[in-house]
Amino acid sequence: MDDRITLRLARYRPEEEAEPTFEEYEVPCRKDWVVLDGLNYIKDQLDGTLSFRWSCRMGICGSCGMTVNGEPKLTCETFLTDYAPGPVRIEPLQNFPVIRDLIVEMTDFMQKLTTIKPWIVRDEERPLAEGEYRQTPDEMSEYMQYSMCINCMLCYAACPVYSLDPKFIGPAAIALAQRYNLDSRDEGSGERLDILSQHEGIWACTFVGECTEVCPKDVDPAGAIQRYKLDAALTSLKSFLLPWGAR
Amino acid sequence: MRAAIAIAETNPRLRVAVVSKVYPMRSHTVSAEGGAAGVIAADDSLDEHAYDTISGGDWLCDQDAVDEFVKEAPQELLRLEHWGCPWSRTPEGRIAVRAFGGMQKKRTWFAADKTGFHMLHTLFQTSLKYTSVVRYDEWFVTKLLVDDGRVQGVVAIELMSGKIQPILAKAVILCTGGCGRVFPFTTNASIKTGDGMALAYAAGAPLKDMEFIQYHPTGLPFTGILITEAARAEGGWLLNKDGYRYLQDYNLGTPEPEPVLRSMELGPRDRLSQAFVKEVEKGRAIDGPYGAVVHLDLRHLGRQVIDAKIPFVRELCQKYQNIDPVKELIPVRPVIHYVMGGVHTDIDGATPLAGLYAAGEVACVSINGANRLGSNSLPELLVFGARAGRAAAEYASTQTDPNSSLLAQAEDERRRLERDFLHKTDGAERLATIRTEMQETMEQGAGIYRSGEGLTRAADRLRELQERFRNVAMQDSSRTFNTELTAVLELSFMLDVAESIVHCALRREESRGAHQRTDFTGRDDERFLAHSLNYRNSDGSSRVEYLPVTITRWLPGERVYGR
Ligand SMILES: Cc1cc2nc3c(=O)[nH]c(=O)nc-3n(C[C@H](O)[C@H](O)[C@H](O)COP(=O)(O)OP(=O)(O)OC[C@H]3O[C@@H](n4cnc5c(N)ncnc54)[C@H](O)[C@@H]3O)c2cc1C
Ligand code: SF4
Ligand code: FES
């Protein structure tokens, strides 16, 4: 007989109820089961109406972020046994509007993503015939860490600034802007600095570093923000000293 | 994504809708680890890549398509470099390449062991700069709209609101990926349910070579998480319970301490997975809690190589298996990974149905034949995604606006979804039970080794399951993000795809590549040097026809590995 564990799930069905409620389900607590396995067990065996997102179940697609016992987690790599004997409280990610049950709306992030121009910007594109851009392993390591973001939104759920000011462009978007800024093939950092500096929120970031702490992919968005602030301060200093616009 | 960019570049006046049931950067390409093949090394040649692909595919590849593929792959990979893909580099800053199974030269580009992740995010992020590309994120397609013999759009559910709506178009490109989820144990994500194949089949386009399903030799037990072939390319060994490199007993070469291309652990996937079954039969595998396994040994590579070249492998093993490959053996077993077959297309991604194109794993061009070589699929997405995009753009530029009669069809589809699922109150069968039984049926009947008897039984059981599916019980009648509705539609797609696999497998009375029959053990070029084409008849039954393979330069020969 398997051990069992109780999952206390936030449920919200907007067509039926005005407020989220909690429901409890008992699921097997097996050694190799992650929280997501528990949720699928509920959906398949106990209650087909439960809704949540998932896909790869190997921590790379970024779909399955939820709040587990108060902390933002990828549920496909969070083991049930770590919470034994339970109960485990599972809620949608904080700081986002809830669409239903454990599913949050992230349209806002998708729009922000486009505004920071997350693509290689060049004055002149290199013809294919000239082969690859040379980029040494050292040059790569400048931006590599910031390119590992899976857009899982855990950092937004943990961010105290975003919770107060949803206009704040947020940790992952800034990290991605830095990913391109620091890429030796890119020439768009000026444009991106202008865009980011329009977002007041960034100066409100206090470097508490919650984003970096919860990030499952070690992206270190807090470091990216810090670096951005330095660059931005330098640039505005320069434009102050060289008002004719050298950048 | 590649197709969308190609359309935007071919004709910026066309409006492109990218419809996806998950946010595009969550598509399953994100999980691909190992790499993407394209000839760049000085000692390599297009002909060698073509030959490896064709012999790897047991001569079922169309050689004209393979020629185009190997020629364009390096260009496409380079284009991705220009778009920002962080390909791993040599110390001088040039593109680095690694070895891969079945390839005689090092030609696999890689971004550490997160190649698919970086490719997908690069493509997605680059696509954001094209303003003519409009995304329908989290819209689930349920039907292709066909009128006047032309595909002119789709019906889709907007998941957030539950709205069921037509999206009309002058041309449709299916890029919906594979169908690994018809089997119980797979590396494939939950979204890989063969939707595009079933949609095309229902609309009248044939499915090609569906019997060829690839097992990857090294998946983690229980989760099915893939341990990439790159682990063997970097020098990993496969060991049986006696610590013996058993592949030497299966005509795959002799063991050397260093990896040898096209030999032993770097043989093709079909042969390695078949060797596993034989090892189990000989009682030389290891018993694990989830059935028999063998061991993948990376210990001799050392921490440095593992952390530099295959860090994700270490992360996955530590996280999901509680094992550190630097010090311990990894338990692995074959796992369903890829489908060689798919919607029949020509070299420009066009299906026989006007206005319908397909590219990626959903399509069968065919360059993969009876067994795909590792690292050929990712470049296939780029090469044929771009070709399909260009061809569809040209076609769409010459078409008139879609007929308004399609709206009536879309209305019918909405009523069907409501009647059969959303408003359904009767029904006694549990969705998950039918799904599990389908998956077990497929594993038992259409696994690594198949027989006429087993396949006939599987076909009968699938028929039965189709019947029982009509009696499925629905608990969720709400509109907002109804994932029971998507799950039931995915199940209906999978049942159709499963039947297609079994029907094609039953008729192919020979053994070739990934299709091994215990009752027809040899390859039979006389009868079966041909693609299976599976059509849906108007009464709903299915028929299989054959189409000769295009052979240009390489006559069918013996597949030789390790010599
Ligand atoms: C774990 C793993 C590792 C791999 N490693 C490698 C490797 O190293 N090298 C290599 O060459 N190949 C590799 N492969 C194979 C390769 O990754 C896949 O064949 C390829 O990524 C498939 O891409 P695709 O674009 O065809 O489909 P996907 O990336 O699966 O995308 C399908 C898209 O279609 C959408 N879709 C599907 N159905 C619907 C619907 N009904 N309505 C709306 N949208 C829909 C989905 O939302 C998704 O966006 C690997 C595969 C796996 C599983
Ligand atoms: S930075 Fe980290 S936590 Fe934030 S979205 Fe990216 S991967 Fe998730
Ligand atoms: S399911 Fe993909 S990250 Fe968890």
Label the pairing between strands A4-11 and A88-91.
parallel
In this structure, the residue with its CA closest to atom 6 of ligand 2 is: A149
B382 burial (CB, 10 Å; 0-12 / 13-18 / 19+) is: buried
The structure tokens listed for A135 are: 């980029």
Q: How far is the CA of B29 from the centre of ligand 1 (A)?
A: 4
Q: How confident is the model at residue A204 (pLDDT cuts 50, 70, 90)?
A: confident
Sign of dihedral through CA atoms B21, B24, B30, B35? Answer: positive
Closest alpha carbon to A205 in A147, A240, A158: A158
Domain assignment of residue A246, yes or no = no
Q: How confident is the model at residue A242 (pLDDT cuts 50, 70, 90)?
A: low
The structure tokens listed for A215 are: 């990030």
A38 with A91, same domain: the answer is yes
CA distance A240 to chain B (A): 32
CATH of the domain at A42: 3.10.20.30
Tokens 């295959």 identify what position?
B310
Q: Which domain holds residue A17?
A: 4-104
A115 with A197, same domain: the answer is yes
A126 with A81, same domain: the answer is no
A33 in reach of chain B (CB within 8 A): no
Domain assignment of residue A247, yes or no = no
Residue where a domain terminates, one of A104, A122, A157: A104
A123 with A209, same domain: the answer is yes
A21 with A93, same domain: the answer is yes
> Tell me, what's the pLDDT at A201?
64
CA distance A102 to chain B (A): 10
Domain assignment of residue A116, yes or no = yes
- Rounded Cα distance, B277 and B275, in Å: 5
State the average pLDDT over residues A117-145: 95
Instruction: Report, in this order, helix, strand and coil percent for chain A, each rounded to 5.
Output: 40, 15, 45
Q: How far is the CA of B178 from the centre of ligand 1 (A)?
A: 6
- Rounded Cα distance, B314 and B321, in Å: 10
Q: How far is the CA of A151 from the centre of ligand 2 (A)?
A: 5
Q: Give the number of whichever ligand sits closest to the CA of residue B226.
A: 1
Phi-psi region of A104 (alpha: psi -120 to 50; beta: other; left: phi over 0): beta
ipTM of this complex: 0.94
The structure tokens listed for B449 are: 């080794």
Q: What is the set of active-site residues of B?
A: 216, 232
- Rounded Cα distance, B534 and B176, in Å: 19
Tell which one of B27, B309, B310 to mutate to probe ligand 1, the residue whose CB is within 8 A of the most ligand atoms.
B27
Domain assignment of residue A216, yes or no = yes
pTM of the model: 0.96
Residue where a domain terminates, one of A58, A88, A104: A104
Q: ∠ CA(A180), CA(A184), CA(A187), 5° rounding?
A: 65
A110 in reach of chain B (CB within 8 A): yes
A111 in reach of chain B (CB within 8 A): no
Q: Minimal Cα distance from B30: which residue of A? A: A61
Give contacts of A140 with chain B, Cβ < 8 Å.
86, 89
Domain assignment of residue A162, yes or no = yes
Domain assignment of residue A155, yes or no = yes
> Tell me, what's the pLDDT at B101?
87
For B446, list phi and psi in degrees, rounded to 5: -130, 35
Domain assignment of residue A181, yes or no = yes
A115 with A230, same domain: the answer is yes
> What is the full per-residue pLDDT of chain B (563 aa) written as tens digits?
999 999 999 999 999 999 999 999 999 999 999 999 999 999 999 999 999 999 999 999 999 999 999 999 999 999 999 999 999 999 999 999 999 888 999 999 999 889 999 999 999 999 999 999 999 999 999 999 999 999 999 999 999 999 999 999 999 999 999 999 999 999 999 999 999 999 999 999 999 999 999 999 999 998 999 999 989 999 999 999 999 999 999 999 999 999 999 899 999 999 999 999 999 999 999 998 889 999 999 999 999 999 988 999 999 999 998 899 999 999 999 999 999 999 999 999 999 999 999 999 999 999 999 999 999 999 999 999 999 999 999 999 999 988 888 999 999 999 999 999 999 999 999 999 999 999 999 999 999 999 999 999 999 999 999 999 999 999 999 999 999 999 999 999 999 999 999 999 999 999 999 999 999 999 999 999 999 999 999 898 999 999 999 999 999 998 888 87
- Rounded Cα distance, B457 and B453, in Å: 6
Closest alpha carbon to A4 in A83, A102, A92, A91: A83
The total domain count for chain A is 2
Q: Closest CB to B93: pick one of A54, A134, A150.
A: A134
For testing contact with chain B, the best of A57, A61, A123, A180 (most B CBs within 10 A):
A61
A79 with A131, same domain: the answer is no
Give contacts of B222 with chain A, Cβ < 8 Å.
32
Residue where a domain terminates, one of A104, A123, A157: A104
Tell which one of B378, B380, B381 to mutate to probe ligand 1, the residue whose CB is within 8 A of the most ligand atoms.
B378
- Judge whether residue A246 has pLDDT over 50: no
A141 in reach of chain B (CB within 8 A): no
Domain assignment of residue A72, yes or no = yes
CATH of the domain at A236: 1.10.1060.10
In this structure, the residue with its CA closest to atom 44 of ligand 1 is: B20
Q: Do B223 and A32 touch (CB under 8 A)?
A: yes
A191 with A138, same domain: the answer is yes
- Rounded Cα distance, B430 and B400, in Å: 45
> Tell me, what's the pLDDT at A202?
76
Q: Give the number of whichever ligand sits closest to the CA of residue B112.
A: 1
A70 with A122, same domain: the answer is no
A73 with A168, same domain: the answer is no
A100 with A127, same domain: the answer is no
Q: Closest CB to A32: pick one of B82, B87, B222.
A: B222
A80 with A138, same domain: the answer is no
Residue type, B151: V
Please report how the helices B483-507 and B452-469 are oriented relative to each other, as an axis angle in degrees rounded to 10: 150
